[in-house]
Structure 1
Amino acid sequence: MKTFDHLSVIGLREWIALPELGMVGLRAKIDTGASTSTLHASDIVQFEKHGERWVRFTAHLGTLVQRRHRCEAQVVSVKTIKSSNGQAQTRYVIRTLLALGDRVWPIEFTLACRKTMRYRVLLGSKALVQAQLVVNPALTYVQEKPTISLLGAQ
């Protein structure tokens, strides 16, 4: 069996932060079957800022206690995504910094309604490849929660 010492291990679920969106303490589920990561959002409104396309949306945090957070982000693209049940949906794609453990890097998120899902954030395979992360699905919350001091350093 090959081992890869230069790769960091994460579990099936991890604590993350999205510092550019002002969100800390999010639980994310790792979904290696999904290419792009997804963030639960509602009230999505497109607008123009400095001649570029942006979206304003409400991000929903937490599972038992719902918290809402208003966000704005530049639109990178619009994608048609086929969900696991085979339905196609058009979604806005944004790029923002993701903090997981002691790492911070930019990734793309599609914005979608995940109100019936247990996890409000899915991390897809592109985000894992960018950070050279390996998933051990037998583990959860392997990495420490991102700290405020780490986020302030970015």
Structure 2
Amino acid sequence: MPSISLLLAMQLLAGCESLLPSGKPGTAVEPVSPAVETPLDPAQCPPVEAVVCAEPEIKVVERVIERNYEKVVEVPVAKDKLVLGSEEFFTVEPGGVRLRSLVDTGAATSSLSVLELTPFERDGSNWVRFKLSDGSEAAPKKIELPIKRHVRVARPGFDRQRRPVVTMSLTVGEVTHMVEVNLVERSEFEFPLLVGRNFLKDAAVVDVSRRQVQTTPRLPSFSK
């Protein structure tokens, strides 16, 4: 038994010596320093490639919505004034003839187309005789009136005309005015009566966007 223990002790000593570094036996073992990382050389790294991402496609859709609004503008009208359209029916006196008439704010005086216009003299005064038709198959009315004066009227493309002026009663709706009317012998015009500013003044306002605003003319009734 003692020999076996001695043998084991010798083997243990031999193993420890084999673990020591080469050199003299019994030399102290220097501690091993930890490993130090060596920095990488940038030249050895692969080149960095820039990656450009494509921008997303943006579609702009423009929607235009149009709405039409009708705006009604109310224009104040003076009290007791009529509203007339560009075309109205007037009744002319004497004769009681109902005529399709053109309301013309550009004309200073009213004008009437007649047939067989004949001036004559009565009791030393100048008068005029003419016929007035409403365009129907009815016989024209014969009218005689004193001449107040004469006017010269110039129309584009025509010679100046000397026209007699008479006083007549014009009625539209329920309004009647005595005004001066110049007479012209003609039948080719669409409107036999042209109503000028001498009737419209202080009596009516005109809405050129409308026609036949007023109803059938009503002649004033005179008490006996």
- Where on the TM-score scale, by shorter chain, does this alignment land: which range? 0.7 to 0.9
TM-score by length of 1: 0.85
Give the distance between the partners of 1:50 and 1:151, measured in 2 at CA. 31
- Does structure 1 conserve the Cα–Cα contact (< 8 Å) formed by 2:82 and 2:203? yes
**How many pairs were matched up?**
149
* 1:3-152 to 2 correspondences below 5 Å: 3-6=76-79, 7-19=81-93, 21-62=94-135, 68-85=140-157, 87-129=159-201, 131-147=202-218, 150-152=219-221
Give the distance between the partners of 2:165 and 2:103, measured in 1 at CA. 18
Cα displacement (A) at 1:140: 1.0
More strand by share: 1
Give the distance between the partners of 2:137 and 2:176, measured in 1 at CA. 27
Cα displacement (A) at 1:42: 2.4
Q: Which has the higher contact order (CA 8 A, sep 6+)?
A: 1
Cα displacement (A) at 1:24: 3.1
- Does structure 2 conserve the Cα–Cα contact (< 8 Å) formed by 1:40 and 1:60? no
TM-score by length of 2: 0.60
Cα displacement (A) at 1:65: 5.0
Q: Which has the larger Rg?
A: 2
Give the distance between the partners of 1:152 and 1:26, measured in 2 at CA. 20
SS at 1:143's partner residue? coil
User: What do you get for the CA RMSD once the two structures are aligned?
Assistant: 2.1
Q: Which amino acid aligns with 1:9?
A: V
SS at 1:139's partner residue? coil
Q: Which 10-residue stretch deviates more, 89-98 or 77-86?
A: 77-86
Q: Which amino acid aligns with 2:215?
A: E
